[in-house]
Every structure is written in C-alpha cells, then in structure tokens.
Amino acid sequence: MVLKLKIFSFIFIVFTFIGDCEGQNRRKYFDGPYIKIVDGQKDLMWVYKGRVKKKRITSDTIKYFEVENLPRVDISDLSFEVDSGYQYNGVKRFAAISDIHGQHDLFIEILKAQGIVDSIENWNYGSGHLVVLGDVFDRGDKVTESLWFLFQLEKQAKLAGGKVHLLIGNHELMVLHGDVGYIHPKYRYTAGASRIQYPDLFDENTVLGSWLRSKKIAITINDFVFVHGGFSKKVIEKENSIDKINTTFKTQILPNKHIVKDTNDLISNLYFENGPLWFRGYANPKAFDTKQAEYILNALNKESIVVGHTSMPQIISLYGNRILLVDSSLKFGKTGEILLYEEDELFRGLKNGDRLVLNSDDDESRKSIFDYLYEVSDSQTIIYLNTDVNNLKATKLEKAYQDATVSIIDDRELSYSFDARVKVRGNMRKKLCTNPPLKIDFSKSELLSHGFSNNDKLKLVLQCSTLKSQVASLKKEHLVYELYRQIDTLGLRSKLIQVNLVSDKEDQDIYQGFILEDEANLARRLGGQVVEKGIVRPQAMQREAYLKMAFFQYMICNTDFSVAGRHNIETILLDGEIRLFPIAYDFDYAGIVGQEYAVPADVFPIKDVKDRHFVVDDLTEDELKLMIEFYKSKKEGFLSIINDAEYLSTKNKKDFIKVIDQFYDIITSRKKSKRLLPKK
Ligand code: ZN
C-alpha cells in the first residue's frame, strides 16, 4: 500500500509539471472537428495551431471538412445506423482490438498491416467484422481521430457486407459521465480554449456523442462474446441475458452518473468493479479458474469470451481458449496486436503483418519480462524496486535473495506490479560499487498470470555510485553491448532504463541503469542451451565465433575475461551445433568504457586498461585475414551506432570513436596487424 501511494504521488507531480508546460505546446495543438446539429444546421468547432475555429454550415453544398492535420469528415452524411440486435452468426472472419487510448497511428498501422483497411485507410475486410472493445478515449492525444475514423469506417464496412462494432469501455463511460481525470492535456486545452467542458463536446446533441450513446457494451459473434472488461460470475448469477444487460446499460447507467452501491441491485452490480466494464478477474489465477470460465460460458451459451481492459504484453488465451485477452498495451504507443479469427482458427496479428496461431496457455510464444521491457521501455519508463535497500547494500557480499515488489511505470502509468525477490550480483562491482548490479527473481505464476513467459530472471546494472561520471560510464558500457551485437547475434541485449530503489522508510534517488538479458532468455531466443559447468578450452570452441569475440575485446581494450576461467564469458550450445559459442558480458573493465576503478590483471603485460593486449596465442595468418575482412565490413555499422547514441555526450562519443579508430588503424596496417600473430 505504501508503494502505491508513493507511485501515485509521483504521477501527480509529473502531471502537474506537464500541465505547466502546456503553454509552450498549445501552438502545436490540432483537434476536432466537434460537430453539433442544431435545427438542421451543423455547428463545427475545431482547434487549429492552438486557435479555436468555428463554422456554421447551413447548406448541403459543402461535402467535406478538410483541414490540415485533422481527420477528413464527410459532413454531408452525419447520420449513423443504430443496431437493434447484438448477435451475429455465420461470420467467416473477424478481427478484435482494444484499448487504443489515443494511439491512433499505431491503431491504423496494425489495421493496415493486417489488411483490415487499405493504404488510404479504407475498409478492406469485405464481409469480415471488426470489433473495437472500448477505451478509445483517454491517455493519448489522438482520440478524436480514432472516433471519426470508426464513425466513417462503419459505413464503408456496411456497404461491403462487413461490420464495425465499437463497444463501450469504462473510459467511454467515464467521459460521458463527466470524469476527465485521464484526458490528455491537449483535450484540457481544447476545453479551456473553447470554453466547452470536455464531456460536453460529446453531449447528446453532438454527432459523436449521440453515436457513442448508441453503442452496446456486449455483442456476440458466432460462439464468441465480446465485452470490455468481462462478465464476472457475480454478474452472471444475477443476469445472464446480454440483451437485458445492454438495455440496462443504455437506459439506466449511461444517462445516470449517480449510481449507489447496493450488492443486491443489478444496476449497481453492472456499474461497479465487478461489472462488465471494470472486471479484471480473468487474469488473476488466484481468484479465477477454468471451472468459473465454464460456468459463465454455459450461462451465456457461448464458447469464448473476448475482453480488453486488462493490459497484457501481447494477446493471451487462457483456460483452453475460453478467455481471450486482447488488450495488448497499445496505450504506450509502441507495440500492439489484433486478434484474428478465420476458418475456425485464432491468430495474433502483429504490426509487421505476421500472423501467429494463438494457442491457449502457450508459454512458448509469450514474451519474457525482459523482452517486454526491451521492446516497450523508453526514457519515461521507471522500474520501482521496493525492498529493504539498506539491508540489500549492507549484505551485498553475501548475495542472498530478499523480498521485493517490482513495479513498472510506463509513461506515468503503473503498468505492472509483481512480488519478487532481489539479490546482488557481479564480481568486482559488488565490492566497489554502492549500487551493485542486481538480479531480480520473479514468481513464475505471477509472470504467467500477467501474460508473460515463465522466464523469471531479470538482470539490472546500475550506475556504480552517485557520481555523475558513473552515469556516463554506465551508458558507455551499454553502448559496448550494442556494438557487440553487431558482430554476432549471440550478444546479450541491453537497454537503458531508470531504476528507483525504494525502501519503506525513505524514497531513494532514481538511478540510471540498464536491463541486461539473462542467458536463459538468450538461449530460448536463439534455440539452444546455456552450458554453465565443465572446463572449456578456447581451442574447443566454435573457432570463428571465438575469434570474433576475442577481436571485439581487443577492439574495446578489454582483457577482463577468460574462457578457461569462465570469467565474464557464458557458453551456449546452439541446437544442431557440436561446439560451444562464447558470449561475452560485463565490460566495465574495458578501456573504452573508461571506468575509474578499472585496472588490468597482473598476468597481462599492460599497465593501463587503455593499453591493448591480444589474448589469442595461436592465430593463423588465414584467420587474421578473415577477421580483418570481417571487422572492416563492420566499421560503418559501429560508427553509426555510436553517432546515433543520443544518450551520450559529444565528448563521450569522440572518446569512444578514438579507441575504435586505433583498432582499425592496427588491423588495416599490414605491419601492425602482423603483431597479432604468434611470435616465431
Ligand atoms: Zn478499460
């Protein structure tokens, strides 16, 4: 509870801060059109570069509202059809997507990738049905775009024999009930500048407002039920007629924002947390199971329920395809999927156009928590690690696990919270750093219920101390991982992320860190297994991979690794291979990183980590040639990654490039490169 309070107060602070910045952004705002029909006249209002524009249209001669950066709206036909029924049978294919939350561009990208609309956003899905399971409103800044798009797509679909269904989500209901707690600052600006309260832009007399009020909360297609949050057992025990539920919503809940909590009353049960717009119980295995799913589906006489509302890293099927969770976190504007049904089969439609068969409770196709963070996190993402920080630091040499709660805040929103354990990891850093590297061990069952794979480890590397120079060193080390992946797909992936170590007693500072892929995650990704034990000689490794790795270490001035000593090298056996492949990690002692505490080991004939020492003592001339050619082909790629690293200062980049240039100076010189060969 303490953690939750802290997070929300943090969110509030950021929010206010952004509110203060509105003035600078308002020139950029484009919004609308909002259209009201009064006595047959169309009153249009929109925001253009921060200025409110109004126009009254009395004749039918103007066909389109067409303004730069705003949706094109056919104002000659603002009528819409209200569906009487809610059941659709014999549908050959459908697509379902949810919780768009103002991420209109991503929404369109997915629809295009899966051929639901064509390249100019027109209906391309024939007699198929597209279901949008609510929560078009709130969070993002392109809500109006999605609404007009769906308003017009609905008509196109109908002409083609298809159908668009927009269902009401809790965020539609909130806005229609006057709750503007989640609207984007842009819409607060629209309301302020136009002097019309945001919910009033969608009142009964507006085109979009009356259209939204005509929408249902649940429909069925073939044997599937669609509803935003879900039908809980509690609700179904009270009422199992979808028709009755839709009618109750439309006539008694939508027009009435003062509903009183009363467990015996149907309206109250439909409105509050266990109601169909808010229920999140399906993804909670502690409170839900296949039996309950069967009970609910029997009562509804259907086979599957498709829901949004509960954000998942991807589309998830649970309880033998009985529950399909399709809110694939579009709200962060980065990733998202669409559920596809075709010829009795279900697919996850990805935004790159791929389709993957959706299997129930299929761990193999799921993202790991690392994969998710790698894809979705950005400079706004913060990992909150709530644990006894003092104890963790005081006992860092013991490397023992202690309890922790891990929360992930994306874009000011709490996206996930897990019970976990955390411990210190690392060799030297656990001794030298006040913030040693950490390993988080998640509970497998918690990961599974949140839609992740059961890959339960997450490695975090933090800035060693609070010194500013340590932030730069950490970022440079991350950059080394980025470069390493250029020589080999075997490189561990890393991503910069902010970490807040939180104790119950006091808030700690936010540190710069990066997440580092766990070997098991890598092995799963590449198909193979990590070999942790046994003696490995460099000579027994896959030779080319070994040489690429050794040259890389030479390039970055790193001698802090040993294959035979299993020091900063993991070994992996890939499927179908006989020899082991090396995976290098922990580059904090590399000269290129310039870490203050780094010194070379006594066994090497160098005094400074910036000096170079080549560890391979049996390199042949042919191998040298091969490596020179290989590294020549990589130079441009290395340089562009360094130059694109906007998280590094110009000086840091220059220093980095200097070290790389020295390496190329050596390998491209006949004389100098020969020194890498064994002495005769
Ligand atoms: Zn929702």
DSSP string, 520-534: HHHHHHHTEEEE-SS
From the CA of 59, how far away is ligand 1's center (Å)?
Answer: 40
What CATH code would you report for 31-362?
3.60.21.10
pLDDT score of 506:
61
Classify 28 in phi/psi space as left (phi over 0), alpha (psi -120 to 50) or beta: alpha
Residues 6+ apart with CB under 8 A from 538: 546, 563, 564, 616
Residue in this structure with the two tokens 């562009």, named with its chain if needed: 640
From the CA of 486, how far away is ligand 1's center (Å)?
Answer: 41
Instruction: Round to whole Å and give the CA distance between 19 and 186.
Output: 10
Count CB atoms within 10 A of the CB of residue 219: 24
Asked whether the beta carbons of 64 and 148 are under 8 A apart, the reply is no
From the CA of 310, how far away is ligand 1's center (Å)?
Answer: 7
From the CA of 138, how far away is ligand 1's center (Å)?
Answer: 10
From the CA of 136, how far away is ligand 1's center (Å)?
Answer: 9
CA 563 to chain centre: 36
From the CA of 283, how far away is ligand 1's center (Å)?
Answer: 14
CA 28 to chain centre: 26
What are φ and ψ of residue 496, in 5° steps?
-65, 140
From the CA of 180, how far away is ligand 1's center (Å)?
Answer: 14
Residue in this structure with the two tokens 């600078």, named with its chain if needed: 24
Instruction: Round to whole Å and give the CA distance between 233 and 275.
Output: 10
SS3 387: strand
Contacts of 106-112 with CB under 8 Å at 24 or more apart are 106/330, 106/333, 106/334, 106/336, 106/351, 107/146, 107/330, 107/336, 108/149, 109/351, 110/330, 110/336, 110/337, 110/338, 110/349, 110/351, 111/338
Contacts of 603-607 with CB under 8 Å at 24 or more apart are 604/559, 606/559
pTM of the entire predicted model = 0.83
From the CA of 229, how far away is ligand 1's center (Å)?
Answer: 6
Count CB atoms within 10 A of the CB of residue 153: 22
Paired tokens of 197 = 């309260």
Asked whether the beta carbons of 224 and 89 are under 8 A apart, the reply is no
From the CA of 577, how far away is ligand 1's center (Å)?
Answer: 48
From the CA of 407, how far away is ligand 1's center (Å)?
Answer: 20
**Segments making up each domain of the chain, as ranges:** 31-362, 370-521, 528-674
SS3 229: coil
For residue 386, what are the β-bridge partners? 405, 502
From the CA of 332, how far away is ligand 1's center (Å)?
Answer: 14
CA 444 to chain centre: 20
Give Cα separations from 224 to 73, 299, 545 (angstroms). Answer: 33, 13, 51
pLDDT score of 124:
98
Give Cα separations from 357 to 202, 521, 638 (angstroms). Answer: 39, 22, 37
From the CA of 18, how far away is ligand 1's center (Å)?
Answer: 24
pLDDT score of 507:
62
What strands, in cross-sheet order, belong to the sheet with 87-88? 87-88, 218-221, 224-227, 304-307, 323-325, 316-318
What are φ and ψ of residue 98, in 5° steps?
-150, 165
From the CA of 99, how far away is ligand 1's center (Å)?
Answer: 7
Using CA of residue 593, residue 517, residue 4, residue 433, what is the dihedral sign? negative
From the CA of 33, how far away is ligand 1's center (Å)?
Answer: 25
From the CA of 268, how far away is ligand 1's center (Å)?
Answer: 18
From the CA of 269, how far away is ligand 1's center (Å)?
Answer: 17
From the CA of 254, how far away is ligand 1's center (Å)?
Answer: 16
From the CA of 326, how far away is ligand 1's center (Å)?
Answer: 12
From the CA of 618, how far away is ligand 1's center (Å)?
Answer: 62
From the CA of 455, how far away is ligand 1's center (Å)?
Answer: 28
For residue 405, what are the β-bridge partners? 386, 419
From the CA of 173, how far away is ligand 1's center (Å)?
Answer: 10
Paired tokens of 595 = 């870490």
From the CA of 325, how far away is ligand 1's center (Å)?
Answer: 12
Instruction: Round to whole Å and give the CA distance between 210 and 661.
Output: 65
From the CA of 147, how far away is ligand 1's center (Å)?
Answer: 16
From the CA of 660, how far away is ligand 1's center (Å)?
Answer: 50
From the CA of 134, how far away is ligand 1's center (Å)?
Answer: 7
Give Cα separations from 547 to 35, 539, 614 (angstroms). Answer: 67, 10, 11
DSSP letter, residue 624: H
Instruction: Round to whole Å and give the CA distance between 352 and 441.
Output: 32
Q: Is 241 exposed, middle or buried (0-12, 13-18, 19+ CB in 10 A)?
A: exposed
From the CA of 177, how far away is ligand 1's center (Å)?
Answer: 15
From the CA of 277, how far away is ligand 1's center (Å)?
Answer: 7
pLDDT score of 412:
67
Paired tokens of 263 = 């467990």
The alpha-helical segments, DSSP class H, found in 350-495 are 369-376, 389-394, 429-432, 444-449, 468-487
pLDDT score of 165:
98
Instruction: Round to whole Å and give the CA distance between 157 and 135.
Output: 21
DSSP string, 388-428: -HHHHHHTGGG---EEEEEEEEETTEEEEEEEEEEEE--SS
What are φ and ψ of residue 213, in 5° steps?
-70, -15
Can you list the residues of the chain whose pLDDT is less than 70?
Answer: 1-26, 361-363, 411-413, 504-508
From the CA of 78, how far away is ligand 1's center (Å)?
Answer: 28
From the CA of 430, how far away is ligand 1's center (Å)?
Answer: 43
Give Cα separations from 116 to 157, 314, 350 (angstroms). Answer: 10, 19, 12
From the CA of 233, how far away is ligand 1's center (Å)?
Answer: 19
DSSP letter, residue 367: P
Residue 412 CA neighbour count, 13 Å, CB half? 14
From the CA of 137, how far away is ligand 1's center (Å)?
Answer: 10
Paired tokens of 446 = 């918690």
For residue 458, what are the β-bridge partners? 440
From the CA of 275, how far away is ligand 1's center (Å)?
Answer: 12
The alpha-helical segments, DSSP class H, found in 27-142 are 104-113
pLDDT score of 504:
61
